[in-house]
Amino acid sequence: MPAPRYDTYPLWERACSLPKGNVHALSFSFDETPMKSNLIVLPLKALALTALIAALAPTTAQAAAAPQPGNVFKDCRDCPEMVVLPAGTFTMGTPEDEVGREPDEGPMHEVTFAKPFAMSRFQVTAGEWDSYVRESGVTIANGDTRPGRECIASKPRYPQGARQPAVCMNFDDVKNYVAWLSKKTGQTYHMVSEAQREYAARGGSQGPFPFPFDEGKAYSIAKHANTYGPADGYSYSSPVGSYPANAFGMYDMHGNVYEWVQDCEHPNYVGAPADGSAWLEANCEAVRIRGNDWGEAPVFSRSGNRNSQYPQERGDWIGFRVVRDL
C-alpha cells in the first residue's frame, strides 16, 4: 500500500473555510487505495468549539504541574530537598523597638515576590556536599586556623554526620556548587537572596520569631533552634530538621549554622530592591549572612537580624541553602 499523504493545510483551517450554517464532511485524503472512503463528519460549530477549547484551556498535565506552595521535591538523589514558597508580599526589616535591633535592619519596607520559587528546606547537608566534591572533583581549600576550629578539606573538627549542615566553604565555593547543581539537573538554581531568606524565615509571621519563647525562661528559644548553650541538646551543629518547621515548611531558619546569601553588605535598606532580588555591587568587600549558629546567643536568631562576612572566609559555623526557579 502506498504511504498516506495528508492534506497540506491543517484540519481547523479547512473547517474555517467551509460555508456557514451547514454540516460538512471533512476528510483526510490518501493516495488511490481501497481505503480512501474513510471520512470524519462533524458539525462546524462543534468542531470550532472543540478547537477553541483545545487551544485555550490548559491540559490536565499542565494544571497538575503548576507549582503549589508546600510541595516538596528533589531533582536528583543527592540534590537538596526543595519546598515551594508562595508568591506574596511581606515587610522586610524590624521595628525600632524590637529587642536587639541594629540600625542596618531598617527602614522597614515591602518586598513582593511576583511568582512562587523553591528553596532548600534544610541547610545543604554534609552528605549532599560530599556528593558534589566527589562528582565534580573539586578541591576545597582549608580555612580558619583557630585551634580546634580548623576547616580541613571542607570538614570541621567536631563530629559531622551526613545529615548535619555542610560547613567550611566560602562564598565562591557556594557559587561553584550552584553552577554545578544547575548543570547537573538542567534546572536554574541560585544562591539565596537576603530578601528570600527573610521571607522564608518569617513564614508569614511578624515579630522577632515565628514561634513563642520558651516558657518560664528569659529570651530562650531552645525548643525551636540550636543556638548558644546546651539547653537545646547540642554543643555543635545538629542534624538538619531536628526542630519543628515553620508555616512555609522551612527548617533551622533561626540556628544551627549561619548561611551565606548573595547580597553585598549595605549599611541599611535605603535603595534596596523591592522585588526580592539580591542587592549586588561591582565589588563587594563584605557580603551578607543570615540565620545564626550553634555558638551564638538567640538574639542573633531573629528573623530580621543581619550579619556580614568577608567572602573569602571559611568556618565550621557557616553553610548555605539554594533556591530554584519554577
pLDDT, tens digit (0-9, with 9 covering 90-100), for 235-281: 999 999 999 999 999 999 999 999 999 999 999 999 999 999 999 99
Lowest mean pLDDT among 179-188, 225-234, 317-326: 225-234
Q: How far apart are CA 197 and CA 190, in angstroms?
A: 12
Query: Residue 229 — pLDDT band, cuts 50, 70, 90?
Result: confident
Pairing of strands 322-324, 117-120: antiparallel
In contact, 82 and 103? CB cutoff 8 Å: no
Q: Is the pLDDT of residue 311 over 60?
A: yes
**Which domains, and CATH codes, for the chain?**
11-57 (no CATH), 68-326 (3.90.1580.10)
Q: How far apart are CA 216 and CA 201, in angstroms?
A: 24
- The long-range contacts involving 5-11, CB below 8 angstroms and separated by at least 24 positions, are 5/29, 5/30, 5/31
Please give the model's pTM, rounded to 2 decimal places.
0.81
Q: What pLDDT shows up at residue 64?
A: 52
pLDDT, tens digit (0-9, with 9 covering 90-100), for 135-193: 999 999 999 999 999 999 999 999 999 999 999 999 999 999 999 999 999 999 999 99
